[in-house]
Amino acid sequence: AQSVTQPDIHITVSEGASLELRCNYSYGATPYLFWYVQSPGQGLQLLLKYFSGDTLVQGIKGFEAEFKRSQSSFNLRKPSVHWSDAAEYFCAVLSKAGNNRKLIWGLGTSLAVNP
């Protein structure tokens, strides 16, 4: 069955420190992978996505993610975290079964940033 695992429920980093949020997926074919961020009072916003090609994907707000097929991972990284990055981060894989294309979501990682 298709699934997404985000092993870290909560992470705290200091402002200016580097960040890596882990995401592992289970999917039989080539996955379409997404990272979304949810800030309080705002809708989920797409940070980046991977469909094919270069396995290192650049996104908005200075985020990047690397697709590693051998590890079934799509970890999100940022070299220097800002206080405004505190939010909930969700990894998702697109399920292409049947006629409806729907997202399979991880449980999310809550990021806190210390000043």
Partner 1 sequence: GAVVSQHPSRVICKSGTSVKIECRSLDFQATTMFWYRQFPKQSLMLMATSNEGSKATYEQGVEKDKFLINHASLTLSTLTVTSAHPEDSSFYICSARDAASGYSYEQYFGPGTRLTVT
* Contact positions vs partner 1 (CB under 8 A): 32, 34, 36, 41-46, 49, 51, 90, 94, 100-103, 105-108, 110
- Smallest separation, CB 110 to partner 1 (Å): 7
Q: What CA–CA distances, in Å, run from 111 to 15, 51, 105, 115?
A: 11, 26, 17, 13
Give the type of residue at 2.
Answer: Q
Closer residue to partner 1 (CB): 107 or 112: 107
- Smallest separation, CB 39 to partner 1 (Å): 10
Cα separation, 27 vs 44, in Å, equals 23
- Smallest separation, CB 45 to partner 1 (Å): 7
